[in-house]
């Protein structure tokens, strides 16, 4: 996938360049002549990273609409200087698949790309945890259903999944279970595969009975 950053900045930020050395920056969405070009160069799909460097909600809505008109298979991530929950939910409602801090580490940008490429959603840790807390109050799965899901996992995958469903980060889970972050990531990847979950939010909604066994 090619990466295009839409920003009023004159050049890419260092973390953007480090994550995606071949990415480009533009002040507006490049328009295409027809759908045949909607996948960009060499038939590649496109990820647009929209930089919200001020209160630009109307700009965000217009830009996402422009992307939808011109790029059928594009995926969109919002990069916010000052992330907030209301804006993140609004961005997702408009069609964005990710929302994070504009100055987030390059390694995380790469992880975001991997998640949304496979159909998942990405939100900042604080926002994700807030949404999980709200969602678990609104939706309650039966213990039998949750038991059935957890039965598909190994004992360690089950431990990791339960902590992740609480909204904890990989680092926090690693500390609690006395394992490495890399091991946590590996167990989560396998858990997503076994349960058919696309991301942490979906996993939390599947295991939202506040499992206590």
User: pLDDT tens-digit profile of 50-105?
Assistant: 998 766 778 899 999 999 888 888 999 999 998 887 788 888 889 999 998 999 99
Q: Considering its fold, how many domains does the chain have in total?
A: 2
- Domain assignment present for residue 32? The answer is yes
Does position 129 have pLDDT exceeding 50, yes or no? yes
In this structure, what DSSP letter does residue 51 have? E
Which CATH number do you get for residue 108?
Answer: 3.40.50.2300
φ and ψ of 3, to 5 deg: -115, 125
User: Mean pLDDT lowest for which of 9-18, 35-44, 134-143, 164-173?
Assistant: 35-44
Mean pLDDT of the chain: 83
User: What stretch of H or E contains 7?
Assistant: none
Asked whether residue 135 is assigned to any structural domain, the reply reads yes
Predicted pLDDT at 138: 45
Asked, for residue 213, whether it belongs to a domain, the answer is: no
Boundary-marking domain end, from 81, 96, 123? 123
Kindly state whether residues 109 and 135 are assigned to the same domain: no
> Do residue 25 and residue 84 come from a single domain?
yes
Whether 118 and 154 map to the same domain: the answer is: no
95 lies in the same domain as 165: no
Residue-range definition of the domain harbouring residue 104: 2-123
Highest mean pLDDT, choosing among 69-83, 138-152, 163-177: 69-83
Rounded Cα gap, residues 36 and 43, in angstroms: 9
- The token pair at 81 is 């200087």
Q: What is the DSSP letter of 99?
A: E
Q: Are residues 189 and 134 in the same domain?
A: yes
Averaged pLDDT, 5-29: 94
Q: What is the DSSP letter of 122?
A: B
pLDDT value at residue 210: 47
CATH number of the domain where residue 199 is located: 1.10.10.10
> Could you tell me if 56 and 63 are in contact, meaning their C-beta atoms sit under 8 angstroms apart?
no
At residue 142, the pLDDT reads: 67
pLDDT band at 213 (very low <50, low <70, confident <90, very high): very low
Same domain membership, residue 146 and residue 106: no
């Amino acid at each position: 996938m090619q990466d295009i950053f839409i920003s009023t900045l004159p050049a890419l930020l260092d973390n953007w360049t480090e994550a995606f050395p071949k990415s480009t920056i533009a002040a507006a969405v490049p328009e295409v002549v027809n759908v045949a070009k909607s996948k960009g160069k060499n038939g590649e799909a496109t990820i647009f990273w929209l930089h919200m460097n001020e209160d630009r909600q109307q700009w965000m809505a217009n830009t996402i609409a422009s992307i939808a008109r011109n790029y059928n298979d594009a995926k969109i991530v919002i990069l916010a200087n000052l992330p907030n929950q209301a804006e993140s939910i609004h961005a997702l409602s408009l069609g964005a698949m990710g929302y994070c801090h504009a100055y987030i580490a390059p390694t995380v940008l790469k992880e975001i790309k991997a998640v949304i490429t496979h159909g998942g959603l990405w939100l900042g840790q604080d926002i994700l945890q807030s949404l999980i807390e709200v969602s678990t109050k609104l939706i309650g799965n039966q213990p039998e259903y949750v038991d059935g899901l957890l039965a598909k996992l190994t004992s360690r995958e089950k431990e990791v999944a339960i902590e992740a469903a609480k909204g904890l980060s990989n680092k926090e889970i690693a500390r609690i279970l006395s394992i490495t972050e890399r091991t946590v990531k590996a167990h989560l990847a396998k858990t997503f595969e076994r349960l058919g979950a696309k991301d942490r939010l979906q996993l939390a909604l599947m295991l939202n009975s506040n499992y206590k066994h």
